[in-house]
Amino acid sequence: MMEQRAAASVRASMDFSGPLNALSTSPNNRLIAVGGRDVLKVVALEASGFSEKRNLRVVGKPSLNFSTNDIRWHPQSDYLLATAATNGAVVIWNLERDGYKHVQERVLNGHRRAVNRICWHTSDWNVLISGSQDGTVKLWDKRGGKVVSTYQPKSESVRDVRASPFHPNKFAAAFENGVGYAQEFST
């Protein structure tokens, strides 16, 4: 007869001093990045509760690059994450570095309005997909910081984007007016 053991669990809460819009866990599940209008932090869930590891809002002067609608950890890296900013930028952060200019590895500018959602490509981890309030979906190459492709399906603002895990050259987008959109692309 197999003995059943209860899984260890930790219940914790932390006051982040402001509303949160998004969170993402690192690939090794040891870190959690949280973001909101006035919050951009990396925390760890330890046996004693949450422990703040990095406050990204204090690494430099205040900027709208810190006001976050979405946050996604890189699928293969415990030190790279991307944020969708309310000023239309997508920011790639490198947590192995110190100092304001170095932690912000790359600022990707191209959207005219707030970026609502981002996701990493499911097999090409240098590609990031962003959906914006401006009604566009953009594919970015993080290495050069350039837009690879822009899709504007003549709809309202993009509320969500996802890369297909089954078809590496397809993504889907959901729009505020109820339209769903799927697109094939090349990188």
- Read off the pLDDT of each residue in 131-144 and give the average, rounded to a whole number: 95
Domains of the chain and any CATH numbers: 22-184 (2.130.10.10)
Reported as a pLDDT band with limits 50, 70 and 90, residue 18 is confident
For the whole model, what pTM was predicted? 0.85
Instruction: Write the pLDDT tens digit of every residue in 69-120.
Output: 999 999 999 999 999 999 999 999 999 887 655 688 899 999 999 999 999 9
Q: What is the reported pLDDT for 111? A: 96
- Contact in structure between 43 and 50 (CB atoms under 8 Å): yes
- Contact in structure between 18 and 38 (CB atoms under 8 Å): yes
